[in-house]
Amino acid sequence: MLLVYMVVTGAVTIAAVYLLYRAGVVQRFTSLRWTLLTTIVVMVGLVLINVMVTARLMFIRDQDVILITALLIFGGVVAVISALFISGTLIERIQALGDASERVARGELDARLAVSGNDELAQLGHMFNRMATQLAALDHKQRQLEQTRRDLVAWASHDLRSPLAALRAMNEAILDGVVTDEATQTQYRRQMQREIEHMGRLIDDLFDLAQMDTHELPLQRKPTDMGMLIEEAVDGTQARAREAGLTLTHAVADRLPLVSVAPDKMARVLYNLLDNALHHTPNGGCITVSAAQADGGVLIRVHNTGSVITAADVPRVFERFYRGEAARAQRRDGQRSAGLGLAIARGFVEAHGGRITVESSAVAGTTFGVWVEG
């Protein structure tokens, strides 16, 4: 009978607590401390009621009932006081998490929690610190992107304004009859054509950068003979090299393996590297393009003599719009460099899963290396 009674009263008590839980009574409290205290008081009260009823049914003497009641009240008081201290510790940790969250919300992304313990709150603290670290990294990346966008607008505006102004001036000179002789008009038309080509290349470069930023760069891969691409790039640049008084040669190893790449993109990489070498190699210098099998792929090296990239510039040569100490300088062929060629070359190579490097010294000159997997 005692067992049956304990099962019935226990079930009734648990059902009452479950109804309080479903009614969301606990959620109506505004403090965790009051939630814990109320929970403990309710539990002690329910236990006290069950014990007293059980004692009456068992015909226990009044003195024993009073003793049991006193012991239960004593235990309840101790539990309440203990809950005060325990809840204080929990509340402090939760408040620390809340304060750190407010700092992050204000933009202080260096806010971190001093985590101690191994419980769920400690795990939550570690998760918060990881979140704050990721937010700081994303914020840094976002700031870099915003700076790049501002630079893009400023530099692209400059590089488009200059050829447009030149085109307008030369076209007006021809239309207004200021220039009448055929030789000067022909010279003006050739210069206008060069300016139009420069703007076309700049627009193509900006379009390629936009595709790389959105990870939507189309790569139509197919087995490609890099030796043939190198030969075509060298042949297409040979006339400019002779005009500049430079020697341009290439050396491709025999039986070079085919590599799975987008031929148009890799041809653009080669052209940009050769264009950079033509721009920086002094008169009488040499440019050599070589290719050999390496590390299960093909390693292409574009070497030029004479020019040296300073140690401070080496880490930045692949940055967009970076032109080192020769910023805004006119090229030897009269064209302007937008500082995008090497950045686009790196983007194309990395999109293929390859790598691009640069080495420079006063003795050996400058060498750009491109490795693509076979």
Contacts of 304 (CB under 8 A, 6+ apart): 277, 280, 281, 285, 286, 287, 288, 365, 366, 367
In a domain, 235, yes or no: yes
Specify the CATH number for the domain of residue 174. Answer: 1.10.287.130
* Nearest residue to 292 (alpha-carbon basis) of 348, 250, 355: 250
Q: Is the pLDDT of residue 67 over 60?
A: yes
Q: Is the pLDDT of residue 337 over 60?
A: no
Give the separation between CA 329 and CA 327, rounded to whole angstroms: 5
Same domain assignment for residues 67 and 206: no
Domain count, the chain: 3
Determine phi and psi for 328, rounding to 5 degrees. Answer: 65, 10
More confident residue, 222 or 2: 222
Residue 67 in tokens: 């003793």
* Nearest residue to 230 (alpha-carbon basis) of 188, 295, 291, 147: 291
In a domain, 121, yes or no: no
Specify the CATH number for the domain of residue 310. Answer: 3.30.565.10
Confidence of residue 330 (pLDDT cuts 50, 70, 90): very low
Q: Which of these three, 71, 91, 108, is where a domain ends?
A: 108
Burial 3-21 (b: 16+ CB within 10 A, else e): eeeeeeeeeeeeeeeeeee
More confident residue, 225 or 160: 225
58 Ramachandran zone, left/alpha/beta (phi>0; psi -120 to 50): alpha
Residue with token string 């408040």: 95
Same domain assignment for residues 65 and 86: yes
Same domain assignment for residues 239 and 191: no
Give the separation between CA 147 and CA 181, rounded to whole angstroms: 48
Q: Which of these three, 108, 125, 140, is where a domain ends?
A: 108
Determine phi and psi for 352, rounding to 5 degrees. Answer: -85, 0
Contacts of 26 (CB under 8 A, 6+ apart): 20, 35, 38, 39
Same domain assignment for residues 247 and 360: yes
Same domain assignment for residues 279 and 192: no
pLDDT score for 327: 39
Give the separation between CA 155 and CA 161, rounded to whole angstroms: 10
Q: Which residues pair with 260 in a beta bridge?
A: 223
pLDDT score for 269: 92
Q: What is the pLDDT of residues 198-220, one digit of tens each?
A: 788 778 777 777 777 777 778 88
pLDDT score for 59: 64
In a domain, 129, yes or no: no
Q: Which of these three, 194, 213, 232, is where a domain ends?
A: 213
Same domain assignment for residues 229 and 311: yes
Confidence of residue 329 (pLDDT cuts 50, 70, 90): very low
* Nearest residue to 261 (alpha-carbon basis) of 311, 306, 227, 236: 227
Residue 206 in tokens: 């900006």
Q: What is the pLDDT of residues 106-141, one digit of tens each?
A: 888 888 888 877 878 888 888 988 998 999 888 888
Residue 191 in tokens: 């210069």
Give the separation between CA 100 and CA 108, rounded to whole angstroms: 9
In a domain, 39, yes or no: yes
Give the separation between CA 306 and CA 362, rounded to whole angstroms: 7
In a domain, 132, yes or no: no
In a domain, 341, yes or no: yes
Same domain assignment for residues 246 and 314: yes
Q: Is the pLDDT of residue 145 over 60?
A: yes
Same domain assignment for residues 314 and 231: yes
Q: Which residues pair with 297 in a beta bridge?
A: 294, 373
pLDDT score for 103: 87
Same domain assignment for residues 198 and 325: no
Q: Which residues pair with 361 in a beta bridge?
A: 365
Confidence of residue 326 (pLDDT cuts 50, 70, 90): very low
Burial (CB count <10 Å: 0-12, 13-18, 19+), residue 372: buried
Residue 36 structural domain: 2-108
pLDDT score for 336: 52
More confident residue, 69 or 290: 290
Same domain assignment for residues 8 and 91: yes
Mean pLDDT of 41-61: 73
Q: Is 320 helix (H, G, I), strand (E, B) or coil?
A: coil
- For the question of whether the overall pTM of this predicted structure is more than 0.75, the answer is no
Q: Which residues pair with 355 in a beta bridge?
A: 371
Residue 340 in tokens: 């995008």
Q: Is 369 helix (H, G, I), strand (E, B) or coil?
A: strand
Same domain assignment for residues 48 and 168: no
Q: What is the pLDDT of residues 23-40, one digit of tens each?
A: 777 667 667 677 777 777
Return the number of other C-beta atoms located less than 10 Å from residue 283's C-beta: 9
In a domain, 292, yes or no: yes
Same domain assignment for residues 200 and 285: no
In a domain, 41, yes or no: yes
pLDDT score for 356: 93
